[in-house]
Amino acid sequence: MARRLWQRNTLFILATLLYGAGFLGVSLRAALQSPQQNPGSVAPALPAIRTGEEIFRATCATCHGIDGKGSPRSVVGFEKPLPDFTDCSFATAEARPDWQAVVHEGGPIRALDHHMPAFGDALSKDDIAKVVGYIKTFCGDQAWPQGDLNFPRAFFTEKAFPEDEAVLTTGVTGKGQKAVDNDVEYERRFGSRGQLTVDVPLDFQQTAASGSWARGLGDVEFAFKQTLYSSLSQGGIIAVGGALTFPTGNATTGLGDGVRIYEPFAMWDQRLTRSSFVQLQGGFKASSDTATLANSAYLDSALGVTFASDRGYGRQWTPQVEMLWARSTGGPSDWDMVPQLQVTLSKLQHVRLAAGVRVPVTDRAGRPTQVLVYCLWDWFDGGFFQFWK
């Protein structure tokens, strides 16, 4: 959304980047404002109009090297290994605002090491954006989508961005034929653009005849998706994939469909403004036995916007609304609306909670409202109980 220790301390290491050992004894503000190099400082003077590379060389290269691969311990003087900014799996995973927040506010803003100082106004926001943008260029493989295109997750509309996540989703139906549906979803990224997903349902279903409850495993799904296109400048990302659902649940008690389902699908996510976005997913579900379960098509969409507290550096709140359309062969169209809200829980923002309601727009008498909640853990960033305070 495990890796070696230095990967789990991404933003702390970035702090070290912007506070090089050769710059510890010198006022950063003075170095940036003075047209001459300060006596005794190894950092060169910076021009009034400066590039990201110039800022990096003046303030970061002592620790992280001109090539971004990191200086040896004998130079930096501390135990923790420095990251290799040429490692694309590390350098592209997080969005630029996350890196910028730690540079501006210091490590504690993301529950990282306190040695990461808050630069505040010593570097302007434009300076910070430039140097973070320059660091991102150390990954020379353009096949890796940038983390800025990893938009907040909706309940039903899958993202086009390949991700390392674990998600527990619970849906509660309280009227009519009552049910509690639990889905444990595990997502693992492969290479620069691929992702494998395993979805395991664990359901509680009230039987219509007796009113008793059945519980057990539902139909397990395996899916794979591949990103075909991503553009940070255009703000868009496109992926295609396929899923195969096995009839592992007991169809007689309502815990499964009793057939295999083959599902090709495609996704398109697009940034609208800096903090708003739209996501689309469409697909077709082909049944292995159409007499038991008809084929169907669907189109899901999500529209959302993200707000961040603490001047844009703190906890994120993302209200979204999904519109879901589905139609079985020979049947009517079903429409649903899903208003929802996602909020980040951990300071690193790798654990998130969302709550929403699935409200039928058509056939409201036959399809009850469902209350939804999920907990998302981006396990790429670190352990579930890390980075909370």
Contacts of 124 (CB under 8 A, 6+ apart): none
Torsion of CA 144, 149, 151, 157, to 10 degrees: -70
Indicate the number of domains in the chain. Answer: 2
240 and 128 in a single domain? The answer is: no
Q: Is residue 383 part of a domain?
A: no
What is the rounded distance in angstroms from the CA atom of residue 42 to the CA atom of residue 38?
8
How does pLDDT run across 41-98, given as a tens digit for each residue? 334 467 777 899 998 888 777 777 889 888 788 787 777 777 788 999 989 988 999 8
82 and 225 in a single domain? The answer is: no
If one compares 228 and 310, the residue with the highest pLDDT of the two is 228
What is the rounded distance in angstroms from the CA atom of residue 118 to the CA atom of residue 19?
10
How does pLDDT run across 324-342, given as a tens digit for each residue? 999 999 999 999 999 999 9
Would strands 213-217 and 221-231 be described as parallel, antiparallel, or unpaired? unpaired
Range of the domain at 263: 147-377
The pLDDT assigned to 71 comes to 77
**Closest by CA position to 109, among listed 14, 13, 11, 18:** 11
The pLDDT assigned to 18 comes to 39
How does pLDDT run across 233-263, given as a tens digit for each residue? 999 999 999 999 999 999 988 899 999 999 9
**What band does 177 get if pLDDT is binned at 50, 70 and 90?**
confident
Contacts of 179 (CB under 8 A, 6+ apart): 171, 172, 173, 203, 204, 205, 206, 254
203 and 128 in a single domain? The answer is: no
| Through-space distance between the first and last CA atoms of the chain, rounded to whole angstroms | 19
Specify the length of the chain in residues: 389
Let me know if 190 is exposed, middle or buried by CB neighbors in 10 A (0-12, 13-18, 19+): exposed
Residue 114 has pLDDT above 70, yes or no: no
Q: Is residue 141 part of a domain?
A: no
CATH number of the domain encompassing residue 109 = 1.10.760.10
CATH number of the domain encompassing residue 257 = 2.40.160.40
202 and 105 in a single domain? The answer is: no
The position carrying tokens 């649903």 is 336
**Closest by CA position to 325, among listed 314, 317, 313, 337:** 337
Q: Is residue 385 part of a domain?
A: no
Domain end point (choices 77, 112, 136): 136
Domain end point (choices 116, 136, 156): 136
- Provide φ and ψ at 29, rounded to 5°: -60, -40
Entry pTM: 0.84
Q: Is residue 363 part of a domain?
A: yes
209 and 86 in a single domain? The answer is: no
Domain end point (choices 136, 171, 197): 136
Whether 320 contacts 303, CB under 8 Å: yes
287 and 191 in a single domain? The answer is: yes
Q: Is residue 323 part of a domain?
A: yes
183 and 241 in a single domain? The answer is: yes
126 and 159 in a single domain? The answer is: no
Would strands 316-328 and 296-305 be described as parallel, antiparallel, or unpaired? antiparallel
176 and 129 in a single domain? The answer is: no
Sign, CA torsion 57/59/60/65: positive
Q: Is residue 382 part of a domain?
A: no
Q: Is residue 101 part of a domain?
A: yes
Q: How many CB atoms lie within 10 A of CB 321?
A: 14
The pLDDT assigned to 234 comes to 96
Q: Is residue 388 part of a domain?
A: no
